Amino acid sequence: MVHQVLYRALVSTKWLAESIRTGKLGPGLRVLDASWYSPGTREARKEYLERHVPGASFFDIEECRDTESPYEMMLPSETGFANYVGRLGISNHTHVVVYDGDHLGSFYAPRVWWMFRVFGHRTVSVLNGGFRNWLKEGHPVTSEPSCPEPAVFKATLDRSLLKTYEQVLENLESKRFQLVDSRSQGRFLGTEPEPDAFGLDSGHIHGSVNMPFMNFLTEDGFEKSPEELRALFQTKKVDLSQPLIATCRKGVTACHVALAAYLCGKPDVAVYDGSWSEWFRRAPPETRVSQGKSGKA
């Protein structure tokens, strides 16, 4: 096994506040607000315009995706991603810090962290504790929108961190990868509905293990310690020395599994981008497991 130096996946609110105070923001350090909320609940862009971390740009995950795909939140092309983040002043030499405003402390930020990594950018971190704790600790906010100078970003897709429907289907036979689903237990089992979903029953891919992503976070919204995270994987009999694919509903909270494993020293967790949204619509019925009325018992 090749040992590599892992870039810090988390930065503290204190570190970021000090970096802003000492004028470190610029081409070498950019901050992104990656908030997204279910329609009809909160308005992410509106909240960004009202208050955000000074110097932060709004990363619109609805814009930075494959809008032609019938599935939810699929990755954009290399060119699409490069052009989008380049407009936010991010080059291949920029340290990117991502946060969101979710009450859990972190929800969409790990997805954007993974997106940068899957497009070949390693100097990216999640703000530990998120905007929730930034506010709680009294750090400065602003309503002034960020207008960074555009930069050139070259994206190179790292296919080792991304899995397709065909690869996950093949894995049901080869069982080379462990498969971890990060949704809540009820949605995983098929006993609770998928929220805001039309024509999408709940349930899971045959052979997957359930690790709800909320369990990786403390009640205060911070990432748990590597020791606590390792214990969670051990409890579920997930071997971090072996290949692992993370899945969920649309490839978002699966990135929490990738982040948690990374903090335990495993940087190579792949995410099934289409996740349950694609699997439910494409996979053979016998590969879909559900305790709900319409599923396989």
C-alpha neighbours within 13 Å on the C-beta side of residue 139: 21
Neighbours of 101 (CB within 10 A): 25
- Look up 255 and say whether it is catalytic: no
The answer to whether the CB of 124 falls within 8 A of the CB of 30 is no
- In sign, the C-alpha dihedral spanning 296, 240, 227, 219 is negative
Q: Write the CB contacts of 67 (distance below 8 Å, at least 6 apart in sequence).
A: none
How many angstroms separate the CA atoms of 71 and 40, rounded? 21
How many angstroms separate the CA atoms of 114 and 258, rounded? 8
Nearest to 110 by CA among 278, 276, 261: 261
Please count the helices (runs of H) and the strands (runs of E) in the chain.
10, 12
SS3 content of the chain, % helix, strand, coil (to 5): 30, 15, 55
Q: Write the CB contacts of 53 (distance below 8 Å, at least 6 apart in sequence).
A: 16, 20, 31, 33, 99, 127, 131, 134, 139, 141, 142
From the candidates 64, 248, 255, 264, give the one annotated as an active-site residue: 248
Question: What are the structure tokens assigned to 147, written together?
Answer: 């207008």
Nearest to 162 by CA among 241, 84, 242, 246: 246
CA 134 from centre of chain: 20
Q: Which amino acid is at 267?
A: P
The set of catalytic residues is: 248
